[in-house]
Chains A and B, each alone.
Chain A
Amino acid sequence: MQTRRSFLKLGAGAAAVGAFAPLTVSANSSDVKWDETHEIVIVGSGFAGLAAAVEAGKLGAKDIVIFEKLGVYGGNSTLNAGQACFANTDLQKQLGIEDSAELMVQDQLKSGRGYASEELLTHSAELGPYIYQLTKDCGCVYRDHIINTGGTSATRSHQVVERSGSGFIRPMLKTARSYGVKTKIRHKFEHLITAKDGTVLGIQVRRGYHFGHEESGELINVKAEKGVLIATGGFGANVSFRQALDPNLGADVGCTNARGATGDGLIAMLAEGAMPVHLSFIQSGPWASPDEGGFGYGAGFSLYNFPHSIAIDRNTGQRFMNETADRKTRADLEVLRRDKEGKPNPALLIAPKHEAMKDPSMHNVLKYNVAWEFDSVDAIAKHFDLPLTELKKQIEDWNIYVKAGEDPQFGKRMNMSTGIYLTAPFIVQRLWPKVHYCQGGIQINTKAEVIAAKSGEKIPGLYAAGEVSGGVHGVSRLGGCSTPECMAFGVTAARSIMKA
């Protein structure tokens, strides 16, 4: 007999949903009443989902649907800095940059600290020039300038003119729709629907879902004739999940991700026995500012300025890191900048205005109180309460390094700061890391097929791409290297589904 408590719970749930929800996670195919059927079912409308939709459309798929949980498209992808690392592009050649897929993979393997997948990275890097062209065909417009991101041995981060992932998302969404792709917001993925042998048949979706109201909308069953692609992104915004994996990442650490990055797709695939990889490797962005929410404008400013600027510890007035080291190195060092009581005392990025002004981000950070202008070193020291003599000496030393083209302090690659001396006036932004990317996720192979934990074999009918897949980058992911990977495996998933 049911207890009164469980009965009340069941009654309340039923009242809100308007129907009794199926209680089993996986259902037998013959029991399922399908509300909709589509050739290809894609969950998530970020880089991976949209790239898959565009590629499947190109390959002649007639009935593709994309379900998006939020009220807006693009998920986390639309919020990023709009950068994508490609090796061996015509733009790099024009700018005299020598690069190759092999070199890009080597850089990523180094940053992955022995945990990255050479096979998956190589697959992604080799698809780079194809993805670069695909985005241009969709109408994405790249800047003439290529950005130098940390941990790379060649400058390769191509950036769209919007300097935001929306510069990719909106043209790709438009292109997907031109192929007849059905795009649906407020549809929350609940779980996979599988046959007894584990083959994925479709998904259950909450139609009419409003974020934060878990019982809103109604449950429908959607059948996938050719395959289901899970492209739901990471779990950076799911505090209890991320803190369970890394105790340092509690609620007091910010997050750059979109609200929807709660790991629904990952959790549902785990429930069906998919192989988890590297879930504890969660990356924080070292370019974030504590003076705004989310990704904001500060990230763009520091990304542009790190190569020719210095990061200063407020306690010592001195540098404490190579400003262009990989993200983990920098974020780990930044989070140690604390006062005597252990409270955050964010470091300062000090940039020369004469160079900072060349990038449009300077205007934004000054206007929205994410950075401030100072006429002298004295003014910086006074405002932020740091030792003047040490700071002055550090800036003098830095300018000697610029002249010499060598950084004896931290071994920074100095070819991006040639002739750019750190002189007044200065623009100063505070630095404090924010949870940014989950390297861990579900294991996939080079066909974007999801691997089962029990057998090491693929789960039929199930594909994953983008941040929800794991093991690609290892311990740390290099900047600008997720976007091309999300798109490469989205494209790959589409090709595999169309062949299946």
Chain B
Amino acid sequence: MKTVNTLLLLVLGACIALSAQARDQRDYHEMVYDSGCKTCHDQGMKSFPSDDSCLQCHDMSELAQQTKREGDEARQNPHDSMHYGQEAPCMECHGEHTPKQAICMDCHNFDFPKFKQ
């Protein structure tokens, strides 16, 4: 029984790894791919990267600055929003291998023209 179980684990593990490779990749993250999957997958290949993973390269306050909005849109800054401030972790809205949309869109018809699904 135990050997079968281990085998199954290995096969499943391989499937997960393969399917991830087959999924979307972001060309602007090419250099990260060159450094290997573990650059982001700091919690093992079978787990989601930690919330800090993206922040190895990206800085939240810089991102907030980059997506700063003016006037009545000031609070729609997705990286410094009225609801979550700068605390929303990256993967709430962004997916590296899967298309996602900003959680704001659950309730609002906002326009984020620079957002890459």
Contacts and interface: CB of A to CB of B under 8 A. Distances in A.
B110 A368 contact: yes
B18 to A, nearest CB: 15
Interface string B60-86: 000000000000100100000011110
A3 to B, nearest CB: 14
Interface stretch (A73-81, A83-91, A307-315, A449-457): A73-81
Interface residues of B, number: 29
A73 B84 contact: yes
Interface of A: 8, 11-12, 14-16, 18, 70-74, 78-79, 162, 164, 166, 169-170, 185-186, 208, 210, 213, 216-217, 256, 258-259, 291-297, 360, 363-364, 368-370
A166 B8 CA distance: 46
A293 to B, nearest CB: 5
B23 interface: no
Contact of B12 (A15, A256, A258): A15
Given A11-B8, A15-B12, A208-B43, A296 B108 contact: yes
A12 B89 contact: no
Contacts of B5: 11, 14
Contacts of A79: 83, 107
B103 A72 contact: yes
A368 B110 CA distance: 7
Contacts of A293: 105-108
Given A71-B92, A208-B47, A210-B48, A259 B106 contact: yes
21 contacts: A8-B8, A12-B12, A14-B9, A15-B12, A71-B88, A71-B89, A71-B91, A71-B92, A72-B84, A72-B87, A170-B85, A185-B51, A208-B50, A258-B106, A291-B109, A292-B108, A292-B109, A296-B107, A296-B109, A363-B72, A368-B108
Contacts of A210: 48, 91
Closest 10 CB pairs of A and B: A294-B107, A368-B109, A71-B92, A166-B83, A15-B12, A72-B84, A71-B89, A11-B8, A296-B107, A15-B9
A369 B89 contact: no
Given A11-B5, A208-B47, A216-B48, A78 B84 contact: yes
Given A15-B9, A16-B46, A186-B89, 10 more contacts: A14-B5, A71-B88, A72-B103, A73-B87, A166-B84, A210-B48, A217-B47, A291-B109, A292-B107, A295-B107
B106 to A, nearest CB: 5
B89 A185 contact: yes
Contacts of B13: 15
Contacts of A169: 83
B106 A294 contact: yes
Most central of A72, A208, A297 by chain B CB within 10 Å: A72
A376 B5 CA distance: 73
